[in-house]
Structure 1
């Protein structure tokens, strides 16, 4: 007789995709409850080493970080270093750097991942869907033909094949070469 603790791993006709890391998002672990500058995960990331903060690039006024809850492998965020909520709050020089870093990041993602396109997006304010509304951030999501299958539609699940730390290192390695 097989006991319940012996069942995981017993061969059957199904392939399983184990994504226990997604429970952190589902259950709300480590989600910012307060996005003031004191509780802001983006401000906190800047205080850490690049590896610990999952930072891909630091510019003069802006930086790039891996998204902790990615839609696709390689999903990154471009942010100003200053804790501001809206795109219109950027200075002219910050806006210029923000745009230049975005363009460069798209080239890096294309070379590093072989993606065939990108989704760019900013949600301005919590009512617009921003998870961290008090710190402006732009999503860059690499896309491939056929990367949207039944999982997100039916099961509201996204399979991410690479660990954030590994993806960050690949992007860092490519950043200076593009």
Structure 2
């Protein structure tokens, strides 16, 4: 006869509430990460081929676009991506660099209007060793932050609680972006 499993093991109830995020296993396992240099498998190259709602695109410009991060650190976490498949900031044209900067500034304004964050983290991780999840296609992170938004979930459970589904967030930001640029 097998021993009875300990509480919390294999679904046996215990005193803890659990948040399961099985959708994140795609990210953890690297299933969406293209081989370096493979633009055919790159999600940042494929996204502009989809319609905006399906691809979570918030705004399209001439050289770059703003899209919700499929694996956000915080609600409203946007990525600003050039259309061209380039890995390094120095590979961008002047027009691409300027437009990425402009889109980043507009993203901050739109997020302030829609979500009222207290601050932002902005950044590009250049290369896998620097933390880039998809190192082959440059992308700028625009992460809204609120006082107290870092709690025990990410530390203990590798989980982030998001109060809104990505499609709803995309619709709100896209509408506000159109108002901000009219």
Report TM bin, short chain.
0.7 to 0.9
Residue deviations 1:119-168 (CA, integer Å, cap 9, x gap): 00110011111111111001111111110011112222211221111111
Find out whether 1:22 has 2:47 as its counterpart: no
Aligned length: 168
Alpha-carbon shift at residue 14 of structure 1 (Å)? 5.6
What is the TM-score of this pair, normalised by structure 1?
A: 0.86
Alpha-carbon separation, structure 1, partners of 2:104 and 2:34: 28
Q: Counterpart in 2 of 1:83?
A: 85
Q: Which runs of 5+ in 1 are unaligned?
A: 1-7
Out of 140, 153, 166, which is 2:168 matched to?
A: 166
SS across alignment from 2:179: coil
Q: Which runs of 5+ in 2 are unaligned?
A: 1-10
In the TM superposition, what are the counterparts of 1:86-101 in structure 2 within 5 Å? 86-101=88-103
Alpha-carbon shift at residue 64 of structure 1 (Å)? 0.6
Alpha-carbon separation, structure 1, partners of 2:20 and 2:130: 31
**Aligned-pair RMSD on alpha carbons?**
1.9
In the TM superposition, what are the counterparts of 1:152-163 in structure 2 within 5 Å? 152-163=154-165
Structure 1 residues 17 and 62: alpha-carbon distance in aligned structure 2, compared to 1, 3 A threshold: same
Find out whether 1:121 has 2:123 as its counterpart: yes
